Amino acid sequence: MRFRRPFLLTFSFFLLLWAIGGNSASHSAEIQKIDSEIEQMEEMKRGYEGRALRHENQAEYLQFDQKAVLETRRHLQIAQENRNKAALVQKQIDLLKVKREKLLK
């Protein structure tokens, strides 16, 4: 009986440490998954931004050609669509970063 109480306290303490350690391990795996998703989305965003820039440059090149007015408008429209897609991807990245920060706390 004399050793029962210290044993229970010690055992409870180790269970608590084990539970905390288990949560951090699962959070660590989830954080790594979120980091890889963020990296993929940032690459996707850079692709959209690059395509938007390319179409803007093409529209600037064609803007002085009177025969290419429709083509110029089309390039500007595609550039705007790509900028909008990049903005949507950025919103998703921001949400993932908020989720990551919550897991780190």
**pLDDT tens digits for 15-24?**
565 655 555 5
Q: What is the count of structural domains for the chain?
A: 1
Whether 11 is covered by a domain: the verdict is no
Q: Which residues contact 55 (CB under 8 A, 6 or more apart)?
A: 75, 76, 78, 79, 82
Residue 58 domain boundaries: 30-104
Whether 49 is covered by a domain: the verdict is yes
**Tokens coding 77:** 């429209």
Whether 18 is covered by a domain: the verdict is no
Q: What local confidence, expressed as pLDDT, does residue 20 receive?
A: 58
Residue 3 has pLDDT above 60, yes or no: no
Rounded to whole angstroms, the Cα distance separating 24 from 90 reads 28
Question: Quick one: pLDDT band at residue 61, thresholds 50, 70, 90?
Answer: very high
